[in-house]
Structure 1
Amino acid sequence: MPRVSQQYKDERRREIVAAAGRCFLEHGFEGASMHRIIAAAGLSAGALYNHFPSKQDLVAATARAALDRVLVAAEDAPGADPAAWVVGLLEQLAADPDTTRLLLITWGEAVSDPGLAGLAGEHLGRVRDRVQERYGRWAVEELGLDAHGAGEWAGMFAQAILSVLQGYVVQSCLLPGFDHDAYLDYARTLAAQ
Structure 2
Amino acid sequence: MRLLEIVIPLLLAVYLLWPHPRLRTIRLAPSIALILTFLHLAVEGYRWQMIPLYALTLLLTISSLIKIKLQTDWSRAASYLTVILLAVSTALPALLPVPAITKPSGSLEVGTIIFELTDESRKEIYSGKDEARSFMVQVWYPANPLPESKKAPWMSRSDVYAPAISSFLNMPTFFLDHLALAKTPAYMDAPIAETSTRFP
Question: Which category describes the TM-score, using the shorter chain as reference length?
Answer: under 0.3
The two structures have a TM-score, normalised by structure 1, of: 0.27
Q: Which has the higher helix share?
A: 1
Report the TM-score, using the length of structure 2 for normalisation. 0.27
Q: Greater Rg, structure 1 or structure 2?
A: 2
